[in-house]
């Protein structure tokens, strides 16, 4: 059975629920990745460990994460079952303690390799943020 766009986005939604809403620690975030010591690769700074990602999101509140469809999901191989998923998400949040209305509003380019484990679970094998486009009226925020 081929990995679908809906499955990939369900994985992403579960991951971002842990990161942004539950404020899960580095270990909770790493559980969504196939390989030990996962990183989020970003083009404009140092790659983010799950600990650094955790620390970033502890500084934020009122976070929202919405996948902007459609996504390009391309089958890479069947054994292991793996796809490349390329798309974008809308992300917003506010720095803790900042006034209401000072939202950070960003479209984030995503380029992921997602793999099904032998047990049937999907995991990120590679997680790349290809760009961060701050929208007009967005508050500024340094990633990392």
Domains in the chain and their CATH numbers?
5-134 (3.10.450.50)
**pLDDT digits (tens), the chain, 144 positions:** 799 999 999 999 999 999 999 999 999 999 999 999 999 999 887 899 999 999 999 999 999 999 999 999 999 999 999 999 999 999 999 999 999 889 999 999 999 999 999 999 999 999 999 999 999 999 988 765
- For residue 15, with 0-12 CB atoms within 10 Å meaning exposed, 13-18 middle and 19 or more buried, which class applies? buried
**Parallel, antiparallel or unpaired: strands 104-116 and 122-134:** antiparallel
User: Considering only CA atoms, which of 38, 67, 34, 35 is closest in space to residue 52?
Assistant: 38
Joined tokens for residue 21: 């809403």
Using CA atoms, how far apart are residues 143 and 42, in angstroms rounded to an integer? 9
pTM: 0.94
CA distance 135 to 140: 10
């Amino acid at each position: 059975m081929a990995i679908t766009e809906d499955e990939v986005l369900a994985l992403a939604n579960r991951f971002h629920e842990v990161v942004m809403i539950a404020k899960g620690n580095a270990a909770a975030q790493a559980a969504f990745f196939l390989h030990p010591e996962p990183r989020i690769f970003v083009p404009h700074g140092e790659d983010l460990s799950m600990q650094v990602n955790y620390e970033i999101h502890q500084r934020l509140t009122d976070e929202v994460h919405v996948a902007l469809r459609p996504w390009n999901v391309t089958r890479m191989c069947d054994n292991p079952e793996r796809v490349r998923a390329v798309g974008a998400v809308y992300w917003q949040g506010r720095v803790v303690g900042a006034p209401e209305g000072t939202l950070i509003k960003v479209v984030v380019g995503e380029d992921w390799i997602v793999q099904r484990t032998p047990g049937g679970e999907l995991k990120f094998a590679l997680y790349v943020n290809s760009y961060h486009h701050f929208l007009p009226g967005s508050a500024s925020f340094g990633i990392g």
